[in-house]
């Protein structure tokens, strides 16, 4: 008789990863749950949120009758994700730390731990996403020797694993997985890829997972939590007071504590003004933030976007781009934003 496939599932203490682990059990796999602690912080009551989540993840494992492990990547998270986040902010760029966390922590540190230390045949998470592989093909990956060096790229181009959008387009999280490596992707199962959030909640309710069902949905940046983002970031970066300037007549509309706190296109909270203004440009030299009224103001629109490094999920650029030096594609620079042409 064949030994059951061993899948190591990342558990966050939330409903999505709990149901992902449950579904893997239902498929007959041997499942191990792992909680990752990535950030050390206390909430307003002096309780460590990560400890509470860890307790909830442990209870999920008890309900499902699967082994539980916890790992700490606090140091790696600080070095690989948070330091990078602060450096980018200081330069006036506003990266999404969840994308960087998935790349360096979940699909690198955790992935290596699951495969190397726990002997996983595959890893799984509660992300709403899909890949082009069926489960059985994922399990076969550990037997496929990937060529090194010179021949590696040719092999990859023929056999790349694709990252596909989830069935629930509102919950789709492929934006956050856009930097994941081909190596990790080909060994990953996303059990929630074909389900809607409502159906996931229904499964949790019917399977004694009420303790995670009652938790509030975790939105936003994990290390900020419920705190005010501006207050949080100014604990780490020096305030640099400046002015909000109208793009229309150069008049001063108000003041702010640092031009780096604002993202292009973001609504600027300017005290004393009732109508909304939006960030058009940031002047690092003067420390001013230029703003425009209304979301449809022409100054807010661009028909050109420059990017530096491109992360190709298939490891090679698409054939039309190589052939024609141009290609048509859809793009998204924010989660849940409609795809643009």
222 included as an active-site residue: yes
101 included as an active-site residue: yes
DSSP lists the bridge partners of residue 328 as none
Kindly report the backbone phi and psi dihedral angles of residue 147, in degrees, each rounded to the nearest multiple of 5, phi listed first: -60, 150
Name the active-site residue from 9, 54, 61, 222.
222
Sign of the dihedral through C-alpha 225, 231, 235, 241: positive
Q: Is 102 left (phi over 0), alpha (psi -120 to 50) or beta?
A: alpha
Contact 277, 291 (CB under 8 A): yes
User: How far is residue 84 from each of residues 87, 91, 150, 155, 262, measured CA to CA in Å?
Assistant: 5, 11, 31, 32, 17
9 by DSSP, 3-state: which? strand
Among 12, 7, 10, which Cα is nearest to 25's?
A: 7
DSSP lists the bridge partners of residue 182 as none
The percent helix, strand, coil of the chain (3-state, each to 5) is 35, 15, 45
Tokens of 318: 């698409």
Contact 163, 332 (CB under 8 A): no
Tokens of 14: 């939330």
Name the active-site residue from 9, 54, 61, 101.
101
Angstrom distance (rounded) from CA 193 to CA 180: 16
From the CB of residue 173, how many other CB atoms can be counted at a distance below 10 Å? Answer: 23
Active-site residue set: 101, 222
């Amino acid at each position: 008789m064949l030994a059951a496939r061993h899948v190591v599932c990342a558990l966050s203490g939330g409903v999505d990863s709990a149901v992902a682990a449950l579904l893997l059990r239902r498929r007959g796999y041997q499942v191990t749950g792992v909680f990752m602690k990535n950030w050390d912080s206390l909430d307003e009551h002096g309780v460590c949120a990560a400890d509470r989540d860890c307790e909830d993840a442990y209870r999920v494992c008890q309900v499902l009758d699967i082994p539980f492990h916890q790992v700490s990547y606090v140091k790696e998270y600080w070095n690989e994700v948070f330091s990078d986040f602060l450096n980018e902010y200081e330069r006036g760029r506003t990266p999404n730390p969840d994308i960087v966390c998935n790349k360096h922590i979940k699909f690198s540190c955790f992935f290596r731990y699951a495969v190397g230390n726990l002997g996983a045949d595959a890893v799984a998470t509660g992300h709403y996403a899909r890949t082009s592989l069926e489960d059985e093909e994922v399990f076969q990956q550990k037997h496929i020797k990937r060529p090194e060096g010179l021949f590696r790229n040719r092999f990859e181009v023929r056999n790349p694993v694709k990252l596909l959008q989830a069935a629930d387009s509102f919950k789709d999280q492929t934006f956050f997985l856009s930097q994941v490596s081909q190596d990790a992707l080909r060994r990953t199962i996303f059990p929630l890829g074909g389900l809607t959030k409502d159906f996931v909640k229904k499964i949790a309710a019917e399977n004694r997972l009420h303790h995670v069902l009652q938790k509030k949905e975790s939105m936003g940046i994990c290390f900020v939590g419920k705190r005010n983002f501006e207050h949080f970031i100014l604990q780490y970066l020096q305030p640099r007071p400046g002015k909000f300037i109208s793009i229309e007549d150069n008049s001063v509309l108000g003041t702010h504590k640092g031009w780096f706190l604002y993202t292009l296109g973001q609504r600027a909270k300017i005290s004393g003004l009732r109508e909304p203004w939006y960030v058009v440009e940031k002047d690092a030299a003067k420390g001013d933030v230029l703003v425009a009224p209304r979301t449809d103001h022409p100054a807010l629109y661009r028909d050109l976007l420059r990017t530096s490094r491109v992360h190709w999920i298939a490891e090679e650029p698409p054939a039309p781009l190589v052939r024609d030096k141009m290609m048509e594609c859809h793009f998204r620079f924010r989660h849940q934003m409609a795809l643009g042409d």
